[in-house]
Amino acid sequence: MILGHLFGLYAHPKQEWKTIDKEHEGIGSSISHILLIALLPSAFAYISSVFIGWRIGVGEPLFLTPTSAIGMSVAMYCALVAGVFALAYLSYWMSHTFGSTPTYTQALELAAYTATPLFMVSIAAIYPHVWFLMVAGLIGIAYSVYLLYTGVPILMHIPEERGFIYASSIVTCGLVLLVSIIASTVILWNLGLGPIFSH
């Protein structure tokens, strides 16, 4: 079921990871989960940039034109979905180094459910103040990392000590992916594909 494990990942994450590992609903369920949950950051970014306005320091809020905002939201959605798939592939690729032999479906489940808190915290964009978004983002990242560290030993069927190192490697890869996405964004902005502000 799409989003079926959502409550459990917040209420009792370790037990929920065991349920996910036991059920293995298939790659279709993981893809559906990713495609649905990745809509949240894109949708809330669009709403806040067009209708509410971003406050960066003192002064009037900044608004984007609807056309510019929809283009950036679509690009964000594609980048988030691609990022989850890339993280899943990296997890799968590294698994043999740590004595694990998962399927790509297991790696995709791990990436999809680990990214969920980070995507859900985008609801904070309804109050688009930089300091508030930073705090909310840190909470989302912290819980995503916690889910990763608890989920790796269970889904990958390895001891917790080895799982800690494996999860740390995945976090490192995730940071590299994030920096790559940010760098790509800067390059595109310099090529003239940046935001268009509404006056």
How many C-beta neighbours within 10 Å does residue 103 have? 12
- HSE-up of 8 (CA within 13 Å, CB side)? 12
E-strand spans in the chain?
63-64, 197-198
Tokens of 17: 């990871």
| pLDDT at residue 165 is higher than 80 | yes
Q: What is the tens place of the pLDDT at every residue in 80-114?
A: 999 999 999 999 999 888 888 888 989 999 999 99
Q: What is the rounded (10 degree) CA torsion for 174, 179, 182, 187?
A: -130
Q: What is the tens place of the pLDDT at every residue in 50-89?
A: 998 887 777 788 888 999 889 889 988 999 999 999 999 9
Question: Residue 2 — pLDDT band, cuts 50, 70, 90?
Answer: low
Residue 134 contacts residue 56 (beta carbons within 8 Å): no
Query: How far, in Å, CA of 27 to CA of 55, rounded?
Result: 40
3 state DSSP class of 64? strand
Question: Residue 1 — pLDDT band, cuts 50, 70, 90?
Answer: very low
**Which residues make beta-bridge pairs with 63?**
198
| pLDDT at residue 3 is higher than 70 | no
- HSE-up of 40 (CA within 13 Å, CB side)? 17
Q: Which amino acid is at 131?
A: W
> What's the whole-model pTM score?
0.88
Q: How long a stretch of residues is the chain?
A: 199
Query: How far, in Å, CA of 63 to CA of 48, rounded?
Result: 8
What integer pLDDT is reported at residue 167 of this predicted model? 93
